[in-house]
Structures are given as C-alpha cells and as structure tokens.
Amino acid sequence: MGGSPMSPHGPACIKESETMPQELTFFRGEIVPASEAKVSVMTHALHYGTAVFEGIRGNWNETRGKLFVFRMAEHYQRLLQGCRMLLIDIPYDVDELCRITIELLQRCGYREDLYIRPLAYKSQELVANLKLQELSSDFVLIAVPFGAYIDVEGAIDCTTSSWRRMDDTIIPPRVKISGHYVNSILAKTEASLAGFDEAIMLTQEGDVSEGSGENLFMVTGGSIFTPPVADNNLVGITRDSAITLAKNELGIEVVERRIRRSELYLADEVFLTGTAAHITPVGSLDRRPIGSGGVGPVTQRISDVYVDLIRGENPRYLDWCTEVPLEG
C-alpha cells in the first residue's frame, strides 16, 4: 500500500502574543458575531432550498505561519453562475467577494485549516411563492475550522448508490444549488449506514457520474479518465486542478469520456477529488478491491503535489493560492 495522500492537518497552537480566534460572519453587508447572524423561520431558502453555495478551503501552513485560500476567484465565479441560474441578485462581483473573504478571515484570526462557506439565498420572508423573480436575495459568508472530510487513512471503501444522479434537465448539477444536495445526502447517508466511506453515483443511463460530493477519476493502463460534465457532475475546481497536475507533473492528458460501472472494478486506480475531500484514493467498490486495494502511484503523485501547493509550497502554482495576511 502506498503512503497516505491525505493532507497533513497541523492544528495550530495559539501563542500568547496572538489574538484568540473569533467566530464572525459576514451577514447583511457587515461582519458580525456569528451568534447575531440569524434569519426568520419564514425565509424562502429555508423552506425550498433556493440558495447557491460554495465550499472553499483555507489551508494553514504551520511552518510558514501563513493561511492560503485555494482558487478563491474560481469558486466565486461558479457561485455567481449559480446565482444566474436561480435569479439571485447580490451586489458583489468576484473581486468584491474575494475582498470580503480576506477581511473576514483576518478578523476571525484562525490559524488552522478552514472551510469557507459563502451562501447566496432567497431571503424574502415568504412561503407559497415559487416565482424566483419576485423574491429578494441576500448573501452570507462563514468560516469554520475544518480538518479531514473523509476521516480515513489511506484508500476508502465505496459503494454504488441506489440513488441515481439527477439529470441536468431536472436541476442543474454543474453548480452548487442547495436544494439539489438532498440527492447527494441520500446517497452519502445510504453508504454510511451500510458501512462504506462514500457513494459512487450513476446517471439515469447507468454511466458513472461522480461521488456524493466529489468528482471521479479512473486510471487504467497508464491513462486517466474522468466522466464528462455532461454526465451530470459538478464543474469541479479540484477536478480541474487534478487534470492540470496530471498533465504538468505526470505528462498524462486526462481523457473525458463516459465510464461504465464495471470499468471501475477492473481499473488500476480510482480517486475522488473535491474541495473538502482533496485527492481521495478509492481502495474498493462494492467490496471488490481496485488495483492493489491501496493508494496507487498515480493517485499518490497527484496528491503529494496537491497537498504541498494548496499550502503555498509550490511556486509553480502560487497563482492558485491567495495569502491572507494575519496579525501576530
């Protein structure tokens, strides 16, 4: 079995000279204590899932004492694409959203790995109205300490979900619309209750789509394949990063094509990618080992480079990282 590709989360010790972290939220145009950021039980998004969100990683580099946010602008570009889908109108562009994020992180003062959650939502206190164009919108931003999403050393065990990935003609899965994540939640819960770490979801036609919250890659005979976005998966930012790393670091062009479930059983390697999950190797699917059942060499190489670069350690990819200046 190869070494674990999982990220080394170094919980930071707070030095006496440093300010203790604060739980703050950007809410209704200003930064307030998280305890004061409250919405009414009548809020439209609470009832109908009429919201768009992102998951962004803040990665703490303990050695350098610096916090780096990974591909922040790309996340906000996707958020605004989702807003367009749901007719959510917020008064910020990508640059302003990035500026708000940096200010929030500075004032929170965390010195550890973070999950940053922007949410644009239909904020009107109104039920029994399904017309998006008639509803007001708002934006909220939170940041919370966050370690490993899948808390498993080495390769994980997956199962094929009985829940099919919903089609783009039902709810567009290419952006992160809150309501459609019930589809992923059902799949993840089913897998967890059955003793697996993650679910692999299929399209209505039976082709591989993605994990419940991650994109999927398959390594066979020295080639890397991933399902096309047309197979109802998220336009993943970590997916795009993995495609770039495969080309730059391994000299392998990733091929986008449809993948059948049985191909995964016979693959040399399978790995998942996502902001929360990073690069996660799959050791088995439906109790069948994939390759050696451990972390394959291609997965390991991509993960090793990825783990370093998200913490600002690789000058070749520094343009993917935004350093957050912190006091102390």
Are residues 47 and 189 both part of a single domain? no
- The count of domains in the chain is 2
Would 164 be classed as within a structural domain? Answer: yes
Q: What is the amino acid identity at position 13?
A: C
- Is residue 16, in this structure, part of any structural domain at all? no
Q: How far apart are CA 35 and CA 33, in angstroms?
A: 5
My answer on whether 85 and 198 are in the same domain is: no
At 198 the three-state DSSP class reads strand
Residue 89 inside a domain? The answer is yes
- pLDDT confidence of residue 328: 66
The CATH number assigned to the domain holding 223 equals 3.20.10.10
Helix (H) or strand (E) holding 95: helix 94-108
Residues 177 and 291 in one domain: yes
Which pLDDT value is given to residue 151?
Answer: 76
Answer whether residue 322 is part of any domain. no
Q: Which residues, at least 6 apart from 282, have a Cβ–Cβ distance to it below 8 Å?
A: 155, 156, 157, 158, 198, 264, 269, 270, 271, 272, 290
Using CA atoms, how far apart are residues 325 and 210, in angstroms rounded to an integer?
Answer: 36
Q: Which range marks the domain in which residue 76 is found? A: 24-145
Tell if the pTM clears 0.95, that is, is over it: no
For residue 142, what is the enclosing H or E element?
strand 137-145
Measure the CA–CA gap between 328 and 325, rounded to whole angstroms. Answer: 10
Same domain, 135 and 167: no
Residues 111 and 187 in one domain: no
pLDDT, tens digit only, all 328 positions of the chain: 334 444 444 444 444 445 789 999 999 999 999 999 999 999 999 999 999 999 999 999 999 999 999 999 999 999 999 999 999 999 999 999 999 999 999 999 999 999 999 999 999 999 999 999 999 999 999 999 998 888 778 999 999 999 999 999 999 999 999 999 999 999 999 999 999 999 999 999 999 999 999 999 999 999 999 999 999 999 999 999 999 999 999 999 999 999 999 999 999 999 999 999 999 999 999 999 999 999 999 999 999 999 999 999 999 999 999 999 998 6
Output the domain CATH number for residue 41.
3.30.470.10
Beta strand 56-61 with 198-202 is unpaired
User: Which of 38, 122, 131, 176 is an active site residue?
Assistant: 176
Confidence (pLDDT) at 9: 43
Q: Is residue 127 part of a domain?
A: yes
Indicate if 104 and 161 belong to the same structural domain. Answer: no
Residues 232, 130, single domain; the answer is no
178 and 88 both lie in a single domain: no
The pLDDT assigned to 180 comes to 95
Annotation marks residue 122 as catalytic: no
52 and 179 co-located in one domain? no
Claim to verify: residue 137 and residue 168 sit in the same structural domain: no
Residues 139 and 165 in one domain: no
**Same-domain check for residues 174 and 88:** no
Q: Does the residue 327 lie in any domain?
A: no
